[in-house]
Every structure is written in structure tokens, then in C-alpha cells.
A = this chain, B = another copy of it.
Amino acid sequence: MIFIKNLKSVSDQEWSTTEKYPGVRWKFLIDADFTGSSGLSLGFAEIAPGGDLILHYHSPAEIYVVTGGVGTLNKSGKLEEVKKGDVVYIAGNAKHALKNTGKETLEFYWIFPTDRFSEVKYLY
């Protein structure tokens, strides 16, 4: 199985949101629940200016690929600026948060070494 996805190809998929993360919305592009894939999963997220993906952690490692905007990454308490063109590595169980501190939408892909997002347990 090999396939190509982009935001246009998932235009029929509604954006997901939660009250926990103000200003954040996301879609699933590579995910066993949507595409029958396995071994890796990927989603695309947008954080509006001022929006905050609050401090959380989970057992699998995670990668962010930042494709737009600028924000502040909380690395278990230490803050660092993150921007378009950066990639972020987050070890399993490391607490992290991401806030949009710019004027444009902060855009990024997240990747897990899991079949699906829904199997990743978010802890706070």
C-alpha cells in the first residue's frame, strides 16, 4: 500500500477540535482509522494566533514538522521558539506544549510510530 494525501484530498473530513486546546484544529491524513495504513500515523494541525496546545505527554515518541508560522515550544518547562522549517523531536512521556505567539496560523504535521492517533493516550 502506497498513497499520497494532502489537505485538499481530505476536504470531506471535518476538522477535529477540543475545548482543552483553544484555537487548535486538526485532520488525519495517514491513520489506520481513515486510510487502513499501519506502522506510522500522521496528522496536520493548525493553531490560530494565541491558540495553545497545552502541556501534555504520551507514551510514544512524536515528531512535529512545522510548515508555517511561529510559536513557543514548551520543552518540559523550558521554552524555545519554533518556526516554519523546524522539526521537533519529543521523546515518549516527555511533557510538551505548543503555543502560537505569532500573527499567522502555526501549521505543522505530527507523526507517531503508531497505526492510529486514537491509540495514543493523552495525559496531563
**Given A30-B63, A30-B89, A67-B67: A73 and B40 interface contact (C-beta under 8 Å):** no
Copies per assembly = 2
Is the pair A39, B86 in contact by a Cβ cutoff of 8 Å? no
B67 touches A42 (CB 8 A): no
A60 to chain B, nearest CB (A): 6
Q: How large is the interface on A (under 10, 10 to 19, 20 to 34, 35 or more residues)?
A: 35 or more
Instruction: Please pick, from B30, B37, B63, the residue contacting A40 in the complex, using a CB distance under 8 A.
Output: B63
From A80, A82, A89, A111, residue with most partner B Cβ within 10 Å: A89
Q: Is the CB of B75 within 8 A of A2?
A: yes
Whether the pair B85, A4 counts as a contact (CB closer than 8 A) is: no
Which A residues from 17 to 73 make CB contacts under 8 A with B? 29-30, 35, 37-40, 42, 60-63, 65, 67, 73
- Of the listed residues A1, A37, A87, the one surrounded by the most CB atoms of chain B closer than 10 A to its CB is A87
Flag if A5 contacts B40 (CB, 8 Å). Answer: no
A72-114 CB contacts (< 8 Å) to partner B: 73, 75-76, 80, 82, 85-92, 94, 96, 109, 111-113
| Cross-chain pairs A/B with CB under 8 angstroms, 8 sampled | A1-B91, A3-B89, A4-B87, A5-B86, A5-B89, A40-B62, A40-B111, A63-B111
